[in-house]
Amino acid sequence: MTDTLSPATTGATGRRAPSAGNLLPIIGVVVAAVAVVLPILVDDFAFNYLMSYTVITCILALTMHLLMGLAGVFSLGQAAMFGAGAYAAVVIIGQTGIDGTLGLFLVAAVGAVIGILMGLVTLRTTDLYLALTTLAFGYIVENLVRNSDWLGGPQGITGFDITFAGSYLDEPKLLYWVGLGFLYLLIVIIMSVRRSKVGRALMATRESPIAARSIGIDTRRYKLLAFGVAGAFAAVAGGLYTAYALVVDPSVFGIDLTLSVLAIAIVGGLRSMPGIIVVAIVLTYFRNSAETFGASQYVLLIYGLLIVLTLRFLPQGLGGLLTSPRVLAATRSIRARFHGGTQ
Amino acid sequence: MTVILEARGLTRKFGGLTAVDNADITVDEHALHGLIGPNGAGKTTFVNMITGVDSIDGGTVTFEGKDVTGLRSFHMASLGMARSFQTSQLFEEESVLSNVMAGRHRHIDYGFPHTFFYTPKTSRVERANRERCMALLEQLNLADDAKRLVAELPYGRRRLVEMARAIASEPSLLVLDEPAAGLPGSDVEALGETLVSLSKNGYTVLIIEHNIGLLMSICDGLTVLSEGRVIADGVPSVVRADPQVIEAYIGRSDDA
Amino acid sequence: MIRSRKFAITALAVLGVTALAGCAQPADTGDGGDGDKATFKFAVVAEETGNYAGYGTQLVAGVKAAVKDINAAGDYNFTLEPVIYDCQSDQAICVQKTRQAITSDELPVVMGPIVSVNIVPSAEVTNRAGVPHLVMAVLPALTADYDNTFRWGTQNDRSNQTVVDYVEANLKPGEDVAIVNATTDFGKGGAVIQTEQLADIGVTPALTIGHDPDQADYTPVITQLKELNPRYVLLSDSNPADVAKLLRQAKELGLESEWIGADASGSIDLAGAAAIGYKTVSPWYPTEEANSASLAEKLQAQGIEIPGWIAAMAYDATLGLAEAVATGGTTSEEIWSGLEGLSDFDGLARGDWDFSKDHMGLKSSTIATWNGTGYESVWPN
Ligand SMILES: Nc1ncnc2c1ncn2[C@@H]1O[C@H](COP(=O)(O)OP(=O)(O)OP(=O)(O)O)[C@@H](O)[C@H]1O
Ligand SMILES: [Mg+2]
């Protein structure tokens, strides 16, 4: 995927595509490979579960990246998609007994439908109204579930087994690897989309819908596409969560989850996949071990503070630093000095 | 000569105000057609209706022989009608190249799975399109700015980028809403040359402009709009002599 | 556009986070043991911070108070050491902490958390691992669905039964009973159980009124009740503010019926003088009686202002656990059988713990009347 086009670059004027970014793909591949063997290196039952949970969080956070960062749709409906996926997984895989290899894709389909519905309902709204409408979606689905006896009502469902390729996903390593597989699939899709026609269409839809339409981009279609893909993966994250939590109850629709993922996405940078992944890992670990840092009663305050500080000082999030002109200039000068010194 | 665009009896009302009143326009293929009129005459509203940006209260639009009345803007664009806007509508936080590449949307013909998985085909088509866009930027003297963010460009260059994006879609009709507004004299001249060369290359252009001198010298046909109505239509030399046109413009300068 | 979106993000995020950041309270770790004796460590997973911190801190206080007393008494050949995990009222963390406790930290027994969305997955974890689990939540499924759970408390159908027993003993011929319930899961469930249990003693509620939560005015409910003038109003409502409003408006409108409700913590404070005479059902009360008063004092010494039944149950559970370890042993299986060996076990909160037949600990709850300054036990008498 190298950029074969090499236009004559003139002096270092203005903000340009980051040259320091050339290292990123290599780092990315190495990190991805290490992530695969990690549970073998760190063989601890509970820690492996924590890793699975982190992967689930990463998937969910990246669906926000897709919707908010790429499509510019300020949706807070993640909980509806995630929760629907959780219940779908329990019904499809846990109760009906369809194996996860097929079942998780059915779960994804359910999520995609919920996502597209959410998209259809909110097509004409933007910003705050869209956020509130998508948020309301979570409440609606939660209410439906609470009042459905066959879904366990307010108590939820327990005592099911999520399987994948015939094995129970209550083995944390397996759960982690399955989650990682879906995470990598999502990463590949997002990276491909960003470099292709669809990514430009999403960009255009986000930056100026009027202009997008004037060059033949059906903005509604691309918004729905983003909702569909985000819904599918958020639902898979929800499905995997049931294998992690061993139960499913209406709390999967809670706003806490949406807000903590929103915090991750904002701090990491809505537009930056690496930023979001790094922050998802760090914050999930931090939250889980907050006790050891003596910070558990401040966790949510810290989240809030991080959001406010990020919006104030790093509107592009941590990921924005990767492409910030100042940081690029600094790395260039360091590199120049380094080369100068060795020659 | 074949007619590429024909609008008949177009009407648009905003509350009590009839912004465009029963207006007609006919644009020939490969022509450079000007649309002029005093401020608030309804020019933008008129082309907004033609290009599907605004809804239509009455009348019909025929494009390349097909009735396209009331089609949405993206649909018009995919049929080959591209446009620029009076107040620029750019993808500000993106590079010039990426703005122009977006313009090629309707020509990039791969679908799933090539959109979701970057395949050799994706790579091939993307490269070919990028090269076309670079060539276009070269022609418009924008190549040096290809990787710069649009938000950072000076005003004149931004106008040019917006035009480039529309041209990149290889439209059969290019609609430009005041592309010369706010440009310094030398740039206006260059713009005129660009328009002429576009028309020589087979493009059809419908251009709204206040710079009558520019239009008189380059246009094949002119339509004059005043208070929502078409008051003159024809070749520049005839339109220039039309007493109604003179009055509309003199009336306006009296006000000013 | 960009600016308004940014504003929306900030506004929502800040709103949400501050809303959630409520009721957080500090937590510290358990104290270490005595020098020469062996130390027995057990896991306490509690919602010490977050939305349910009110419950989690009660649990931890009860455990700490009991551990302090047991270690000071020195009756056992081991010292107790609770390993406390704050699961921040978050389901995912509660599950994770339970796993960590029984696998990485190899603890043989778990106590808590309290709230059902947290305790159920936690019990699912211990159940799959065959680890005994001491629970307090009122939900019947917790002991019905899992064989490794030991209920240190009263499950809600037994609390309702206690209310019905009380009614049966006191209702005179010609007197009526009315049921008032919130139209929530808790309220509707309670009303259904009470109606069934009343049917068993041959009483049909003369009136059943459901009300939506968070209403400003409950006058229509009270007016309906006044027309009937029942002897008892059985209340199933877990929202303290609503309970307080009902009590206050009942007093204002001169309704003379006696209210018997579930313990909706905080409602008595909110109702003020109108709460005088209000009867509640709960496994334990801080009353004037000797045992109860001394337990309340111990719990207050652990830093909780108003000791509730959760803290008291946690105190007894810790006593029971120590006994089970002494009689059974320190492995999960030994503790399990040690707990099942507890019958007629005397705690400080309750003197009638029995796990030998089932894992439900208590047969009944208790009823007390609020007299304006404290609780007076009225049932069992
Ligand atoms: N969305 C709208 N709502 C209400 N009135 C409008 C709207 N758009 C345009 N108008 C009115 O319609 C009339 C025509 O406006 P239009 O923008 O089409 O004129 P124009 O010829 O393009 O003017 P200019 O040369 O200043 O660009 C004006 O009086 C304007 O105020
Ligand atoms: Mg105009």
> For residue C184, what pLDDT is reported?
82
Predicted TM-score (pTM) of the model is 0.87
Residues C140-149: contacts with CB within 8 Å, 24+ apart?
C141/A155, C141/A158, C142/C116, C143/C358, C143/C359, C143/C360, C145/A158, C145/A159, C147/C359, C148/C123, C148/C336, C149/C123, C149/C359
Least confident span in A73-87, A179-193, B182-196, C126-140:
B182-196
CA of A42 to the centre of ligand 1 (A): 67
Which chains contact B through at least 3 pairs of Cβ atoms less than 8 Å apart? A
Least confident span in A2-11, B107-116, C99-108:
A2-11
What are the tokens at A104?
């998780």
Contacts of C88 in chain A (CB under 8 A): 287, 290, 296, 299
> For residue A4, what pLDDT is reported?
27
Residues A167-173: contacts with CB within 8 Å, 24+ apart?
A169/A100, A169/A240, A169/A243, A170/A243, A170/A246, A170/C128, A172/A39, A172/A45, A172/A46, A172/A48, A172/A49, A172/A51, A172/A52, A173/A39, A173/A40, A173/A48
Report helix angle A45-64 to A273-288, nearest 10: 140
In this structure, the strands spanning B3-14 and B58-63 are antiparallel
Kindly report, residue by residue over A274-287, the tens digit of the pLDDT: 999 999 999 999 99
Helix %, strand %, coil % of chain C (to 5): 45, 20, 35
Cα(A154)–Cα(A145) distance, rounded to whole angstroms? 8
- Rounded to 5 degrees, φ, ψ at C79 are -105, 150
> For residue A21, what pLDDT is reported?
53
B237 SS3 class: helix
Kindly report, residue by residue over B221-249, the tens digit of the pLDDT: 999 999 999 999 999 888 888 888 888 77
Q: Could you say which residues from 80 to 119 on chain A have a Cβ atom under 8 Å away from some Cβ of chain C?
A: none
> For residue C226, what pLDDT is reported?
93
Q: In B15-44, which positions are buried (b, 16+ CB within 10 angstroms) versus exposed (e)?
A: eeebbbbebebbbbebbbbbbbbbeebbbb
> For residue A3, what pLDDT is reported?
31
Of A146, A244, A296, the CB nearest to C86: A296
Residue B44 in contact with ligand 1 by CB distance below 6 A: yes
Report helix angle A255-268 to A45-64, nearest 10: 80
> For residue C42, what pLDDT is reported?
97
> For residue A268, what pLDDT is reported?
95
CA B250, distance to chain mean position in Å, is 27
**Protein residue whose Cα sits closest to atom 5 of ligand 1:** B14
Least confident span in A122-131, A298-307, C26-35, C37-46:
C26-35
Helix %, strand %, coil % of chain B (to 5): 40, 25, 35
CA A147, distance to chain mean position in Å, is 30
Q: What number is the average pLDDT over the span C318-344?
A: 95
What are the tokens at A158?
């327990």
Q: Residue A274, preceding bond cis, omega within 30 degrees?
A: no
| Residue A28 confidence class, pLDDT cut points 50, 70, 90 | confident
CA of B44 to the centre of ligand 1 (A): 7
Contacts of C4 in chain A (CB under 8 A): 127-128
B14 SS3 class: strand
C176 SS3 class: coil
| Contact yes or no for C140/A155 (Cβ under 8 A) | no
Mean pLDDT of chain C: 88
Cα(C280)–Cα(C377) distance, rounded to whole angstroms? 10
Kindly report, residue by residue over C70-81, the tens digit of the pLDDT: 999 999 999 999
Q: Is the pLDDT of residue C266 over 90?
A: no
What are the tokens at A186?
């999502």
Torsion angle of the four alpha carbons C369, C372, C375, C379, in this order, in degrees rounded to the nearest 10: -10
**Closest listed residue to residue A76, CA positions, set A123, A135, A30, A126:** A135
Q: In A277-302, which positions are buried (b, 16+ CB within 10 angstroms) versus exposed (e)?
A: bbbbbebbebbbebbeeeebbbbbeb
| Amino acid in the structure at residue C151 | R
Mean pLDDT of chain B: 91
| Residue C30 confidence class, pLDDT cut points 50, 70, 90 | very low
Contacts of A247 in chain C (CB under 8 A): 120-121, 124
Residue B45 in contact with ligand 1 by CB distance below 6 A: yes
Q: What number is the average pLDDT over the span C216-223?
A: 92
Q: pLDDT: is C34 or C221 the higher one? A: C221
Here the ipTM equals 0.90
| Contact yes or no for A235/A112 (Cβ under 8 A) | yes
What are the tokens at C143?
């002991």
Q: What number is the average pLDDT over the span B36-48?
A: 94
> For residue C272, what pLDDT is reported?
87
Length of chain A in terms of residues written: 343
User: Which DSSP helix (H) or strand (E) runs through C151?
Assistant: strand C149-151
> For residue C5, what pLDDT is reported?
53
Q: Is the pLDDT of residue A113 over 60?
A: yes
User: Which DSSP helix (H) or strand (E) runs through A263?
Assistant: helix A255-268
Residues 6+ apart with CB under 8 A from B26: B3, B5, B6, B7, B233
| Residue C54 confidence class, pLDDT cut points 50, 70, 90 | confident
| Residue C79 exposure: Cα atoms within 13 Å on the Cβ side | 16
Of B74, B114, B152, the CB nearest to A14: B152
| Residue A178 confidence class, pLDDT cut points 50, 70, 90 | very high
Least confident span in A3-12, A236-245, B86-95, B209-218:
A3-12
Of A17, A192, A213, the CB nearest to B147: A17
Cα(C235)–Cα(C99) distance, rounded to whole angstroms? 38
| Contact yes or no for A83/A141 (Cβ under 8 A) | yes
Share of chain C above pLDDT 70, in %: 90
| Residue A91 confidence class, pLDDT cut points 50, 70, 90 | very high
Kindly report, residue by residue over B49-83, the tens digit of the pLDDT: 999 999 999 999 999 999 999 999 999 999 999 99
Kindly report, residue by residue over A181-198, the tens digit of the pLDDT: 999 999 999 999 999 999
> For residue C216, what pLDDT is reported?
86
Residue B58 in contact with ligand 1 by CB distance below 6 A: no
Kindly report, residue by residue over A213-257, the tens digit of the pLDDT: 999 999 999 999 999 999 999 999 999 999 999 999 999 998 888
| Residue B254 confidence class, pLDDT cut points 50, 70, 90 | very low
Cα(C82)–Cα(C74) distance, rounded to whole angstroms? 16
> For residue A276, what pLDDT is reported?
95
Q: What number is the average pLDDT over the span C298-312?
A: 92
| Contact yes or no for C45/C87 (Cβ under 8 A) | yes
C84 SS3 class: strand
Q: What number is the average pLDDT over the span C337-349?
A: 94
| Contact yes or no for C292/C286 (Cβ under 8 A) | yes
Torsion angle of the four alpha carbons C165, C169, C171, C172, in this order, in degrees rounded to the nearest 10: 160
Which chains contact A through at least 3 pairs of Cβ atoms less than 8 Å apart? B, C
| Contact yes or no for C104/A45 (Cβ under 8 A) | yes
Of A5, A197, A214, the CB nearest to B73: A214
For testing the chain C interface, which of A143, A251, A316 should be mutated: the one with the most C CBs within 10 Å? Answer: A251
For testing the chain A interface, which of B72, B76, B89 should be mutated: the one with the most A CBs within 10 Å? Answer: B89
For testing the chain C interface, which of A60, A64, A155 should be mutated: the one with the most C CBs within 10 Å? Answer: A155
Cα(C337)–Cα(C326) distance, rounded to whole angstroms? 11
What are the tokens at B27?
């644009």
| Amino acid in the structure at residue A206 | R
Q: Could you say which residues from 279 to 308 on chain A have a Cβ atom under 8 Å away from some Cβ of chain C?
A: 287-288, 290-291, 296-301, 303-304, 307-308
